[in-house]
Copies of this chain bind each other. A is one copy, B any other.
Amino acid sequence: MSTIKDVANIAGVSIATVSRVVNNGPKVGNKTRDKVLKVMAEIGYTPNANARALVKQKNTTLGVVIPALNDPFFASLANGVERIARDKKQHMLLSTGGFSSESELNAINLLIEQRCESMVVHSKKLADDTLIELSKKVPGIIFIDRLVPSIEERCIWLENTEGGKIAARHLLALGHTQFALLNSNFDIEDPSLRRKGFVETIENLNSKQANIQEINHEPTLKGGEMAAQQLLSLNIPFSAVFAYNDAMAIGAISVLEDNGLRIPEDVSVIGFDDVLLSQYSRPKLTTMHYPIEIMAENAAKLAIEFSHNQQSKSDFKHRYIPNLVKRESTSSCG
């Protein structure tokens, strides 16, 4: 691949001049500019971003860490970041962190080696202290989907507890009293926060007759199916299901329907996340909308801002509340 030197030689100018025309620098004669441009096109010169980053001590790379790409939720996250990257003429370097603390740290270190000036990181496994350390080392790092005390300005998070509350209120308003909570068995705090909001609300508003059966499984379609099967085998009455996410909700629905229960006539089901899937399912899924794409966009903007200024000037929204999207899978009880 040709270098700036090649261009300079062929065009009969100095590399400084070539550099100027490449960067639209000032004070270059029109004749010279044209000549250089012509040579560049002829030999297919492309500037080396590595060399550039080295001397300029800065990068146009925005790094992202997500657990995996093939999950629609994280795909939306990445998509939001990517949109901002494109807007701000940055490149996006994506690194997957899997579901363990070592691989999360690996993924982050990779981005640091590349000297990404800004980073949007989804980490559930790393300890608060580690993230605080990282925030000191990398001015432009933002943690999404997580609240780390003492560095809240570097975090963008969802109030999971509120999500549980809103779901509970919706189901209570529909007259339900017998609940099933199909929760994730992943060892992160989200499931317990959602449970907390859900359970507390129900107990507060309807302490007498209410009953909540919780079953934990993988937060996947399969996990939802298995949770529903287990629920049925318990042989206890229920008319409303709150699932940890849309995949579990849809898995549960398919098992419930296979067992002769109609959704929503016999059982109301409410999901979480509002991934594309929930609009495709039949019945269309009532769910808690998780504004992950908007959160990701803001995280990206915030990351870029921090990397430039060390201090955010704009008043960004850091704390998000999910909202209910009423579709077809919930209805009044009885």
**With a CB–CB cut-off of 8 A, which chain B residues contact A44?**
137
Closest to A70 in B: B79
Segment from A25-33, A108-116, A147-155 that makes contact with B: A108-116
DSSP majority for the A interface? helix
With contacts A254-B282, A257-B282 taken as known, whether A59 is within 8 angstroms of B50 at the C-beta atoms is yes
Do B93 and A93 touch (CB < 8 A)?
Answer: yes
The interface size bin for chain A is 35 or more
B221 touches A50 (CB 8 A): no
Residues of B within 8 A of A41 (CB): none
CB distance from A273 to the nearest CB of B (A): 14
| Distance A78 CA – B115 CA, assembled complex (angstroms) | 23
Number of copies: 2
* Residues of chain B lying within 8 A (CB to CB) of residue A1: 115, 137
Residue with the greatest number of chain B CB neighbours at <10 A, chosen from A53, A54, A76, A280:
A280
A270 CB–B CB distance under 8 Å: no
- Give Cα A51 to B59, complex, Å: 12
A162 interfacial contact with B, CB 8 Å: no
| Residue A279 CB within 8 A of the other chain | yes
Residues B82 and A69 in contact, CB atoms below 8 Å apart: yes
Is A49 a contact of B114 with CB atoms below 8 Å?
yes
Q: Which residues of A contact B (CB under 8 A)?
A: 1, 44, 46-51, 53-54, 59, 68-70, 72, 75-76, 78-79, 82, 86, 91-96, 109-110, 112-115, 137, 221, 247, 250, 254, 257, 276-277, 279-282, 293
The 4 closest A-B CB pairs, nearest first, are A70-B79, A69-B79, A49-B113, A50-B53
